[in-house]
Structure 1
Amino acid sequence: MPRLIDHDARRAELAEAVWRVLARDGVAAVSVRNVAAEAGVSAGSLRHVLPTKSLLLAAAMELVVERATARFGTHPRDLETRADAVALLSEMLPLDDERRLEMRTHLALSAETANDPALAELRRAPDDGVRTGCRVVLELARAQGRLRRGLDLDAETLRLHVLVDGVALHLLGGLLDAETARTLLEEHLARLWVRSGPRS
């Protein structure tokens, strides 16, 4: 009986191989041959799934968005404290090996869009995801009576997005540690939170 192939799992394995090549050798090293060697498959079999560098990078970026969205979705939506909101936002920060690989992939793809405009739309996907994540946190906080009245949620989403991006870059560059990163997010949210009780 022929063996069934889980195409989604295979694609994820290949995308993870792209992550590793990117992290170790940079975007210039991403090729069908190098990724195939990293994944332990033949170049011919890889070409059946992802035949070009652009498609390899696209698959890697799609997996970044998929994994980040899945992590975000595992958190409870009741923001009892600011720490709960920080925990949600922290899923978008490079605080472990996998998330550092994801962010390096995002940055590599961002650089590659100058050479391949076809990747521009995909390059925006993680940015859109971070902005959406920030918006979700603020909307949850507002719906649960945690935010001060009269805040412009569009403006606050932009501010939070910029903060999360900046903190992420500084974490990746070793300029911040995880505790300081979370403290910066908590201090920012403290300016938005109600002061006299969660629902007053």
Structure 2
Amino acid sequence: MPKLIDHEHRKEEIAESVWRVILREGVAAVSVRTVAAEAGLAVGSVRHVFPSKAELLEFSMALVHERARLRVQRHIGMHDPREIAEAVLHEFLPLDDTRRAEMELDVAIIAEMPAHQGLRTIREKAHQGIRGACHSVLLHLRDTGEVRPEADLELETARLHALVDGLALHGLVDEGDRTVVRDRTVRVLAEHLDSLRPPGQGR
């Protein structure tokens, strides 16, 4: 009896091949043919799942953001509010090889966005997801006494979102020692969260 193909697993394998092509050669190198070669599949097998480059890119980038979202969800059950906040926000920073690769993919794909509505929609959804995570983190911290009660949450959400985006980009382009860059990134974020505490409340 022939073995059934797990189509979702196959789609993810193909998406991971797209990631490797982009990280190695750039978005311009992505095609059904190059991705098929990377995945070790026949061109027809890839084209059956993703008939065009646009569909390849859309699914591949959506999968990047979906995997980050699932990692964020795993932190929600943590007990300490500050630990939850840092764990969630760290998912949006290039603190290890996986998250660094995800952000390199995100930056690489931005160049394709002006001519590609599907990618713009995916990127906007991811952008709003990070903003929503920043807001949820701050709301939880305020509710547990870790943020000043009078703080303007909308303003602080915008500030935190900008900080996270800035730290992510700096961490990506900084050519210094990876460990030093990582430690500095974590410290800057921690000190920002400390600055939101009620007066006299230390860590």
- Displacement, 1:175? 5.2
In the alignment, is residue 179 of structure 1 matched against residue 187 of structure 2?
Answer: no
Does the aligned pair in 2 maintain the 1:82–1:190 contact within 8 Å? no
Matched, 1:25 2:29: no
1:83 is displaced (CA, Å) by 4.8
Given that 1:94 and 1:103 are in contact with CA atoms closer than 8 Å, whether structure 2 keeps it comes out as: yes
Structure 2 equivalent of residue 156 of structure 1? 156
Which 5+ residue runs of structure 2 have no aligned equivalent?
A: none
- Unmatched 5+ stretches in structure 1: none
Deviations 1:46-95 (A, max 9, x none): 00111111111111111111110111111145563645422221011112
Runs of 4+ in 1 over 6 A off after TM superposition: none
1:91 aligned residue: 91
Q: Deviations over 1:13-35 (max 9, x none)?
A: 11111111110000100111111
1:6 aligned partner, one-letter code? D
Q: Structure 1 residues 194, 84: closer, same or farther in 2, change over 3 A?
A: farther
Are 1:188 and 2:192 an aligned pair? yes
Aligned to 2:132: 132
How many residue pairs are counted as aligned between the two chains?
Answer: 198
Partner of 2:42: 42
SS of residue in 1 equivalent to 2:111: helix
Report the Cα distance in structure 1 between the residues aligned to 2:132 and 2:154, rounded to whole angstroms: 11
RMSD: 1.9
Kept in 2, the 8 Å contact 1:113–1:120? The answer is yes
- State the alpha-carbon separation in 2 of the partners of residues 62 and 142 from structure 1: 31
| TM-score normalized by the length of structure 1 | 0.91
Q: Is the 8 A contact 1:65 1:129 kept in 2?
A: no
Q: Structure 1 pair 166/83, CA: closer, same or farther in 2 (3 Å)?
A: same
- In structure 2, distance between residues paired with 1:41 and 1:180: 42
Deviations along 1:85-119, one digit per CA (max 9) or x if unpaired, are: 22221011112222122112211221101232343
